[in-house]
Amino acid sequence: QVSPEQVILSHSPLQLFRQFHQMCMLVAGQGPVEENAHNLGFKHVVTIEALRKAYPLLDMVDQSRRPKEVPPPVTGFPTIEGVILFGEPVRWETSLQLITDVLLSNGNPGAELQDVPYPHLPILACNMDLLWMAEAQMPRFGHGTFLLCLENIYKKVTGRELKYEALIGKPSPVTYHYAEYLIKQQAEKQGWKAPIRRLYAVGDNPMSDVYGANLYNSYLKSAQQSQVQAGVKRSPQAASPQTGVYLELRKDCNNSVESCESILVCTGVYRHNASAPKKTEACTMETVFHGHRDFCFDPSLVEASYVVQDVDDAVQLAFKKENWS
């Protein structure tokens, strides 16, 4: 039986971003985003719908939703201090407009536009997948596509890059740091005395599971260096070991882990083809990189340490490598 603390969702590491827990945060996405934010430790949250209700003149794309009368001035609405993007929203035009308004107004979207503040308010974004597979024959837009829209709108309007305080979810190292943190906690509960030296990350997607595990392995190998070069293109804060969260996790994890091995299974996104080249690198060299803007494509990062048929084989492999079988 799996306990709740053993299940890592893309937004789970937000529990460790305590420096934002007392701030007033705008939350975007769908589902119980307000409840999710509270469960992660955020005390003061505002939804896109609450912001739209307070400032109805902001949402003007859909003519049927425009207010019929000029509403009275807003009083008592809190200043927004940061933004959490949980996942793709339902009405993209509304969320894109209101999030941009919040960034341009420094958290006061009802105010007249003055000088555009830069750096803008901190943004924490979860779920970077550009596309995902559903029942349709072709992939569907994911939250990464929404982020791509927001980034380009912000740059087109301001001439500056949208920056993230953190990008959370695979393949971001923050997620793997958090997984290591939970593994250490579980080991302590089980009474393990020996330090954990190796992690094994099992997944079926070379572009997220394998890429993330290999990127995290690069950070483990470079943990003592002040600058890490692997995988980050533009925005070091997206996955940088210099963030406070990283330093907190490394302290909690006691720096004992030395490597993270990636194991690719053939029962999901990746399907083994006997006639295809053995190295996954050869299969992905010519593909378009669907990863986030702040992570560059490195073919070596999508080459798995091991390729096995299924999860059972992956577990047996780890047991064999650790001399447990």
Give the chain's mean pLDDT: 85
Q: What is the pLDDT of residues 269-320, one digit of tens each?
A: 776 654 444 454 444 444 678 889 999 888 899 999 999 999 999 999 999 9
Cα–Cα distance for residue pair 266/264, rounded to 1 Å: 7
Determine what percent of the chain falls in helix, strand and coil, rounding each to the nearest 5.
40, 15, 50
The mean-pLDDT minimum among 4-13, 127-136, 143-152, 192-201 falls in 4-13
- pLDDT at 227 (0 to 100): 40
Cα–Cα distance for residue pair 188/324, rounded to 1 Å: 19
- pLDDT at 272 (0 to 100): 64
Structure tokens at 7: 């299940």
Residues 84, 36: contact at Cβ < 8 Å?
Answer: no
CATH 3.40.50.1000 region(s) of the chain? 4-167
Cα dihedral sign for 104, 170, 297, 197? positive
Residues 277, 132: contact at Cβ < 8 Å?
Answer: no
Whole-number CA gyration radius for the chain: 21
- Torsion angles phi and psi, residue 25, rounded to 5: -115, 135
Query: Beta strand 198-203 with 140-141: parallel, antiparallel or unpaired?
Result: unpaired
69, 90, 5: which is closest to 40 by C-alpha? 5
- Torsion angles phi and psi, residue 204, rounded to 5: -110, 5
Cα–Cα distance for residue pair 100/80, rounded to 1 Å: 12
Residue 278: count of CB within 10 angstroms of its CB: 10
Cα–Cα distance for residue pair 174/249, rounded to 1 Å: 9
- pLDDT at 234 (0 to 100): 46
Q: What is the pLDDT of residues 207-266, one digit of tens each?
A: 889 999 999 999 898 874 544 444 555 443 444 433 455 555 555 555 689 999 999 999
What does the pLDDT average to over 166-189? 92
In CATH, the number for domain 4-167 is 3.40.50.1000
Structure tokens at 59: 């949402």
